[in-house]
Amino acid sequence: MVHCFEKGSAKLRSAVETTYALIVNPAAGGGRSLRILPEVERAFDEMRMVFRVERTRSKEHGMDLALGAVYSREVPVVMSGDGLIGAVGGVLAGTGSPMGIIPGGRGNDLARGLGIPTDPTAAVEAVAAGNTVALDVGVANGERFLGIASVGFDSEANRIANASRLSGNTVYAWAALRALAGWKPQRFSLVERGVQTRFTGYTVAVANNGVYGGGMNMAPSADPCDGLLDVITVGEVGRLRFLLNLPKVFRGTHVDGENVKSWQTSVVEVSAGRPMTVYADGDPLTELPARIRVLPGALPVIVPGELP
């Protein structure tokens, strides 16, 4: 669980005084968003919340719908997986508009990190309560993200998972095994404040939220409200040892390994010995080399919990 509430939170107007734009990705979670939509609509109605429903045709369409809702003084509530939620959150950053989240995807990692329940009715109740925290937003080569920007083994596993038709979180474990079979450690370079560090290994992950890949606790100390990014690097190790350590990622205990390093920063430049794609919020984000930085407190997000 993140520590955003320790830094203070705010509260929206009463739910019955607010109009919500429910932005639904029909393809999220293999159709999960559409399957739970009737229950979500029923929960909005039972709480006497004024809302309208918009179905997206693409990620760009969803972003446009969110900006249109802000222009109409509505609160955008995104019902999707991490991809659309991250894209909408990125475009809303700096507008001052809050964003609500109804988990409707396969991994739902941002919602998991923020404590937003996957149960549709409970998620709507959290939106109605209107507690907001100021979330940091990551930026890689000008492209914004909310979760973890990763490159190397992790991004290859993400690519394999996205191409799979498997459902549920097991797809991420399957994808990791597939990626491991063909993976060769790569040479990475990181630059911070003019100082360059090189290492050979598996992954560079720059984390805002700590969770990705369907519940993997990659950056257990990451707090998306602290104005900093957590950098995690996984160095060279044999495949068998790497495989045996994979379950530790779900518990967050992998960071204790001697081949894993972690620290915090506000900006880092990442490059590698060959072309690589950076993934974030479940989707391709940009290419290496990448300059990754943080926009502190740029996005109000509606989360569960009582105000301190």
Contact predicate 36/104, CB 8 Å: yes
Kindly state the tokens that stand for 129.
């309560």
Distance of CA 75 to the CA centre of its chain: 20
**Distance separating the N- and C-terminal Cα atoms of the chain:** 16
Residue 220 has a CB neighbour count (10 Å cut-off) of 17
Backbone torsions φ then ψ of 247, nearest 5 degrees: -60, -25
Size of the chain, expressed as the number of residues it contains? 308
Residues linked to residue 301 through DSSP beta bridges, in sequence order: 99, 133
In angstroms, the CA 199 to CA 258 distance is 14
Q: Which helix (H) or strand (E) segment is 62 a member of?
A: helix 59-71
In angstroms, the CA 98 to CA 81 distance is 18
Tokens 């204790």 -> residue: 256
Contact predicate 225/134, CB 8 Å: yes
Instruction: Examine the residue annotation and report whether 154 is marked as an active-site residue of this protein.
Output: no
Q: Which member of 45, 119, 230, 283 is catalytic?
A: 283
Backbone torsions φ then ψ of 270, nearest 5 degrees: -125, 135
In angstroms, the CA 132 to CA 5 distance is 9
The catalytic site residues sit at: 283
